[in-house]
């Protein structure tokens, strides 16, 4: 909004901001003068964060308007506190802020999309589940989370927990990781226990799927199995430069696990599959479609909408990564070694495969005991 009043010009070089000019956007001369005095007060107090927020463009999530700053001052009895920026953020409309920050939450594009979907879903819930209308960020402390969970469209624990993770990352970005408000909100959030996925994939089933798959995509499926690479972030980023043919190994690109060697070895007798499978012959969409079709033909999956091949249920591409962990553990490979191959951050993430192997030992022992008793 343009006004007839001059822009406020100040030299803030000592803070690394330089020479700045800012419009007060007032509608009267009296209000303009009040905002000039307020801006000078910020300069005198050294409120660098607030000044930068005022100077930020209106489209920026970090933008602070004059009205918001004046409202804070009014709430604080005519003064500007050291926590002014946090106080302003907490009084913003929740779902407007989540929509603005969603594209910046998460390091990977896939993660950002997942978080954005969860936060949009929260904004579409019936207004009755939220304690105020419009819902402010500060009102998160008053939310009846069990009631929200009842209205959540995704019934699985992973869907709900993903919303919790999105909320946690959002608050971290908004008020900081050390914020007491963030800690209090997340302490009230009811996390659910997620059931670990145990894919029904044996070597016999895998070869049935391979036989049902088109010949040109078989090397891709075998490469995913032999290397345990994550399908999108790692395998699809592989090029011929990632191959180490003299030592029969692959340098994994884009691994997200810190401290990982990032190199996985492949059996010499199976190396030809990897050379044929890198780079991927298809992009992820069609790689997944070919996998689903092959699983359906092999009896390891099904379409719920047979006309359009949608609503697939069955083995997933990511199950090939699980298969490497499970089959190698079944063959007696120590858990810490499997952890290195899968590039897990902690051994606890890999221990799921040893638990399954231990369960099989118990089953075999019971089979021998029952057989001996006849």
287-332: pLDDT as tens digits: 999 999 999 999 998 887 755 656 788 899 999 999 999 999 999 9
Asked if residue 53 has a cis previous peptide bond (ω within 30° of 0), the answer is: no
Mean of pLDDT values over 358-369: 87
pLDDT of residue 61: 65
The mean predicted confidence, pLDDT, of the chain is 87
Q: Which residue has the tokens 């962990």?
A: 325
Checking if the pLDDT of 217 tops 90, the result is yes
Checking if the pLDDT of 60 tops 80, the result is no
What's the CA angle centered on 270, arms 264 and 273, to 5 degrees?
A: 90
Q: What does the block give as tokens for 325?
A: 């962990």
Mean of pLDDT values over 59-63: 70
pLDDT of residue 177: 86
Asked which of 17-21, 131-135, 195-199 is least confident by mean pLDDT, the reply is 195-199
Mean of pLDDT values over 240-249: 95
pLDDT of residue 373: 53
Instruction: From 279, 272, 249, 268, select the one nearest 340 (Cα to Cα).
Output: 249
What is the rounded CA–CA span in Å between residue 358 and residue 35? 70
Asked which of 37-51, 197-211, 319-333 is least confident by mean pLDDT, the reply is 37-51
What is the rounded CA–CA span in Å between residue 215 and residue 164? 42
pLDDT of residue 103: 87
End-to-end CA distance of the chain: 90
Mean of pLDDT values over 107-135: 89
Phi/psi of residue 18, each to 5°? Answer: 85, -160
Checking if the pLDDT of 1 tops 70, the result is no
By CB neighbour count within 10 A (0-12 exposed, 13-18 middle, 19+ buried), where does 160 fall?
Answer: buried
Q: What is the pTM of this model?
A: 0.63
Tell me the per-residue pLDDT of 183-194, one tens digit each, with 9 for 90 and over: 999 999 999 988
Mean of pLDDT values over 33-59: 82
pLDDT of residue 188: 94
Instruction: From 211, 233, 302, select the one nearest 222 (Cα to Cα).
Output: 211
Asked which of 110-119, 174-183, 365-374 is least confident by mean pLDDT, the reply is 365-374
What is the rounded CA–CA span in Å between residue 294 and residue 334? 32
Q: 94-101 and 109-123 helices cross at what angle (nearest 10)?
A: 160
Higher pLDDT residue, 198 or 261? 198
Asked which of 94-98, 175-179, 260-264 is least confident by mean pLDDT, the reply is 260-264
Asked if residue 134 has a cis previous peptide bond (ω within 30° of 0), the answer is: yes
């Amino acid at each position: 909004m343009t006004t007839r009043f001059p822009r406020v010009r100040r030299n803030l070089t000592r803070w690394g901001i330089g020479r700045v000019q800012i419009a007060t956007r007032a509608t009267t001369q009296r209000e303009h003068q009040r905002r000039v005095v307020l801006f000078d007060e910020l300069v005198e107090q050294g409120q660098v964060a607030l000044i930068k927020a005022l100077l930020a463009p209106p489209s920026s999530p970090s933008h602070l308007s004059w009205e918001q700053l004046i409202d804070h001052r009014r709430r604080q009895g005519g003064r500007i506190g050291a926590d002014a920026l946090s106080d302003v953020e907490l009084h913003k409309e929740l779902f407007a802020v989540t929509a603005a920050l969603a594209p910046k939450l998460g390091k990977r594009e896939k993660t950002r999309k997942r978080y954005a979907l969860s936060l949009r879903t929260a904004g579409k819930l019936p207004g009755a589940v939220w304690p105020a209308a419009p819902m402010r960020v500060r009102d998160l402390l008053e939310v009846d989370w069990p009631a929200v969970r009842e209205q959540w469209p995704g019934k699985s624990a992973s869907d709900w927990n993903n919303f919790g993770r999105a909320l946690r990352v959002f608050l971290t970005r908004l008020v900081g990781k050390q914020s007491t408000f963030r800690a209090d909100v997340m302490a009230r959030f009811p996390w659910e226990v997620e059931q670990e996925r145990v894919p029904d994939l044996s070597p016999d089933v895998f070869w049935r799927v391979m036989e049902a798959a088109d010949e040109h995509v078989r090397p891709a499926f075998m490469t995913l199995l032999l290397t345990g690479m994550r399908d999108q972030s790692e395998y699809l980023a592989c090029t011929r430069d990632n191959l180490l043919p003299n030592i029969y190994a692959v340098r994994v690109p884009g691994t997200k696990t810190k401290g990982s060697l990032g190199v996985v070895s492949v059996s010499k007798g199976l190396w030809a599959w990897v050379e044929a499978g890198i780079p991927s012959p298809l992009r992820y969409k069609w790689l997944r479609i070919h996998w689903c079709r092959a699983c359906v033909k092999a009896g390891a999956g099904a379409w719920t909408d047979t006309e359009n091949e949608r609503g697939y249920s069955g083995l997933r591409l990511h199950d090939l990564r699980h298969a490497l962990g499970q089959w190698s553990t079944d063959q007696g490979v120590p858990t810490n070694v499997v952890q290195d191959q899968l590039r897990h951050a902690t051994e606890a993430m890999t221990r799921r495969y040893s638990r399954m192997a231990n369960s099989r030992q118990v089953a075999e022992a019971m089979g021998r005991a029952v057989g001996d008793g006849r």
